Amino acid sequence: MAAADVRPLPTAVPVAIIGAGFGGIAAAHELRRTGIDHILLERADRVGGTWRDNTYPGCACDIPSHLYSLSWAPNPNWSRRFAPAAEIDAYLAEVADREQLTDRLFTGVDVGSAHWSAETSTWRLETSRGRVDCRVLVVAAGGLSQPNIPDIPGLADFPGPVLHTAHWDAAVPLEGLRVGVVGTGASAIQLVPAIVDRVSALTVFQRTPAWIFPRDDRQIPRWRQRLYARWPVSQRIVREGQYWRRELVVHAMVSRLGLLERAAEQARRRLATEVRDRDLRSRLEPDYLPGCKRALLSDDFYRTVGRDRVQVVGALEQIVGRQAVTVDGDRHELDVLVLATGFEVLPPPMANRVFGLDGVSVAADWVDRGGAFLGMATAAAPNLFWLTGPNTGLGGNSMIVMIEAQARYLAQATAAALAGDPESPRVLAVSPVVQRRYTNWIEQRMAGTVWQLGGCNSWYLDENGRVAAIWPEQTWRYRRMTRTFRSVHYEQRTPCTDR
């Protein structure tokens, strides 16, 4: 654990960034490059975001590491094709240090709320360490940070330990115990093979099966690491290859759904080879198109659930004492319960704590307007830029690509907002017409995609059934659309007209 940060927070700054994971680090890097003073506010005691918080056994990234890293900070030393979480966490700490981003980092700062003041044209942040005013606010608090705790009757009275994958407690023993895992998403399929040898019995509560494809993870040999260090261009070539292969997959998800049927056929054949038990096989086979929910990568999940000590059962309906009761009424006695039940994504919790014009929360405003311009800006919240906001999540490529595009864009936008006389600050609010045109375009593009037509219920959908989390196109298009900040998309106001 890092030493507690006791430096006083500055009370007024040009730019405040909330969150110091990949998003906050990328934003701070671009602002620094542009010569804009800023601070980074982080509620934990160090940088790292999701890769600091997720420490469950088996946690790793399912996007290849060369691609799942910042383009301006390549790491020739990745140990594996898909680096484990701890290695990504260490990478982020090293990048923040090397880039001297930590000078402007304040840790242990929980931002309770942010309010736009039309009188002063500033954002006022109430934090656990005091008040901060800033001209431009960047929210990089991440979409996958608040664990989703399912509302299961009796859960609070379960007599054994209850863990969520995103709040793992390594001190809780699993050895020789009967462990239940709720969920079969990205986290569960990494966790289950990683703990199976430690437990006496493992019960996996599955509500919806996932499509699972081979991961083909392997170590990166020393000679390759040396090659990448010596000739960084060789690593860039590998990264480009990985990027464009994924763009082809996204193309299928966006407009060639027939190709997904073929991928499903391949996955079914693999399932048939790896899971001999006919009943188990039929329970593991999804009834929607691959990609509708995130398609998962694993080399060992199917083999693991075929083992004697593992059972895949129906969704968990209630807990009665030590017994977990499934929807079919079956009872399973457990010592430890693990919730691999994902996150509260729509809206992200911070969107309920940021209030723009007329005190309207960003979360409510996104719902009203059907999303945000480029996923980052909304008419009701001037001088605010949101990373990994509405319709910028990905199901098939590296989020770092989107984050970097957003960081470059917001640095340009921030430079425009801060240009001119500090006594008469500019207020940039995206034009409502531009925002509407953009959200209509998103809706049209989404209409033919697997996320809309794939036949599943996923966390990509909001409460109205709108696909609110995912970018409906290949990512090169987002990069192109965000390459240049265009002031014509924004209404530039002075404080007295800012209503």
Determine, following the binding rule CB under 6 A, whether residue 459 of this chain makes contact with ligand NAP. Answer: yes
Tell me: does residue 482 bind ligand NAP (CB under 6 A).
no
Residue from 183, 286, 390, 472 that binds ligand NAP (CB under 6 A)?
183
- Size of the residue set binding ligand NAP (CB under 6 A): 25
| Binds ligand NAP (CB under 6 A): choice among 77, 208, 255, 431 | 208
Binding-residue pattern over the window 296 to 325 for ligand NAP, x denoting contact by CB under 6 A: -------------------xx---------
CB 356 within 8 A of CB 348: no
Comparing CB distances to ligand NAP, the nearer of 150 and 173 is 150
Among the listed residues 105, 140, 144, 427, the single contact to ligand NAP using CB under 6 A: 144
Among positions 82-101, residues that touch ligand NAP (CB under 6 A) are none
- Least CB distance to ligand NAP at residue 54 (A): 7
CA angle 257/262/263 to nearest 5° reads 90
Tokens of 95: 């990048």
Q: Given candidates 107, 121, 235, 341, which one binds ligand NAP under the rule CB under 6 A?
A: 341
Q: Does 184 help bind ligand NAP (rule: CB under 6 A)? A: yes
Paired tokens of 424: 């008469």
Task: Tell me if 5 sits within 8 A of 71, measured CB to CB.
Answer: no
Question: Tokens 């109205």 appear where?
Answer: 464
Regarding 254 and contact with ligand NAP (CB under 6 A), the answer is no
* Cα 285 to Cα 242, 288, 304, 470, distances in angstroms: 28, 9, 16, 24
In terms of CB distance, is 187 or 397 closer to ligand NAP? 187
What gap in Å lies between CA 174 and CA 172, rounded to an integer?
7
Contact 354, 372 (CB under 8 A): no
DSSP structure class, residue 372? -
Give yes or no for residue 294 binding ligand NAP (CB under 6 A): yes
Taking the complex as a whole, how short is the minimal distance between the CB of residue 143 and ligand NAP, in angstroms?
8
Angle at 390 between CA 388 and CA 395, to 5 degrees: 70
For the chain, how big is the Rg over CA atoms in Å?
23
Assess 159 for contact with ligand NAP (CB under 6 A): no
173 near ligand NAP (CB under 6 A): no
Q: Shortest Cβ distance from residue 460 to ligand NAP (Å)?
A: 9
The residue (of 87 and 491) whose beta carbon lies closer to ligand NAP is 87
From 119-127, 167-175, 335-343, 405-413, span contacting ligand NAP (CB under 6 A): 335-343
Burial class (CB in 10 A: 0-12, 13-18, 19+), 98: exposed
DSSP H helical ranges for 75-206: 85-98, 186-195
Rounded to whole angstroms, how far apart are CA atoms 467 and 392? 11
**Residue ranges binding ligand NAP (CB under 6 A):** 60-63, 144, 148, 150, 165, 182-188, 207-208, 294, 315-316, 340-343, 459
